[in-house]
Structure 1
């Protein structure tokens, strides 16, 4: 039997599948439903088993009043606690999010994900241009981290390191090395 994905076809027996994993798309308060629909449609082109939850409120401890933004690390920790054994959560928000990076206590980011892990977050706040397309690219990048992928040196790969800049217009797909890792995991 063949298992075909976004990447290529392989014999199902060759895959170390995670086909029982469900990606749970978790919008936070006031996130546009139309944007959720668009992102889910694109994610399903790469990984079919995807479910959308109703929007939820932010956890209180995620707010950083000093910077008027949400702590991405608190959000993914919260989502991680919601995830069951066979689930992977991606939170979506339009609010500004940040994390600690090197000497910066409150570094603004597009997204953040455990590597590897069961949760990640993506935000439209810092995105310019076509936010739907760019949000999908941030989301799939963070989902890649949850599957153990690190940043990739290939400029067109979804796993490219942004290095604090918006390079999303140049990303078009997972490179062959990143695809291979995801294929082993049943993507």
Structure 2
């Protein structure tokens, strides 16, 4: 099983860091592919000015290989019903992460490249964890903890806690 990253963001330095962490965490080969646009207007909710993450993921399920996971990195704001926004979503071999709310500029602060990289790593590791059948963790420091807002993402680490690591090992046997 491999992980393929399709990214709208063309910052190779950042993507190489994400790739390295994913390879270390999940012991999988990771490939990076730049894509102009991953999202089209068909997923846009004009009233919300956000894209429906479920529709995007469903579209890419048919485009992934049998022995691969897809991680889509997009720059648009995402939502699913019952949530104002989401950082990411994973289902059926496809994960999506939005960089939109991971940037300090969204919150009215100056750009912070290092913080952005840390947030992207955490969300990528989290969503790929779901593709490995890991659920949300009650340990708030674990990368698999649910992030209700950006403060939750900042608080947690980018690593799996001992319990989630053991679950991952059991599932990979």
TM-score (norm 1): 0.77
Give deviations 1:12-60, integer Å, cap 9, x for gaps.
Answer: xxxxxxxxx11011113x5433332221122122133111123142244
Q: Which runs of 4+ in 1 moved over 4 A?
A: none
> Quick one: distance in 1 between partners of 2:12 and 2:75?
12
Which aligned pairs between 1:158-177 and structure 2 lie closer than 5 A?
158-172=143-157, 173-177=159-163
Which residue, 9, 12, 23 being the options, matches 1:44?
23
Higher helix share: 2
Which residue, 94, 99, 124 being the options, matches 2:99?
124
Residues 126 and 154 of structure 1: is their aligned pair in 2 closer, same or farther, counting only changes over 3 Å? same
> Rg larger in 1 or in 2?
1
> Quick one: distance in 2 between partners of 1:32 and 1:78?
25
Residues 35 and 150 of structure 1: is their aligned pair in 2 closer, same or farther, counting only changes over 3 Å? same
Residues 166 and 82 of structure 1: is their aligned pair in 2 closer, same or farther, counting only changes over 3 Å? farther
Hey, what does 1:93 align to over in structure 2? 74
> Quick one: distance in 2 between partners of 1:56 and 1:62?
16
> Quick one: distance in 1 between partners of 2:94 and 2:3?
9
Hey, what does 2:89 align to over in structure 1? 112
Residues 185 and 97 of structure 1: is their aligned pair in 2 closer, same or farther, counting only changes over 3 Å? same
Hey, what does 1:65 align to over in structure 2? 46
Structure 1: stretches of 5+ with no match in the other structure: 1-20
Higher strand share: 1
- Higher RCO, Cα 8 Å, sep 6+: 1
Q: State the number of aligned residues.
A: 160
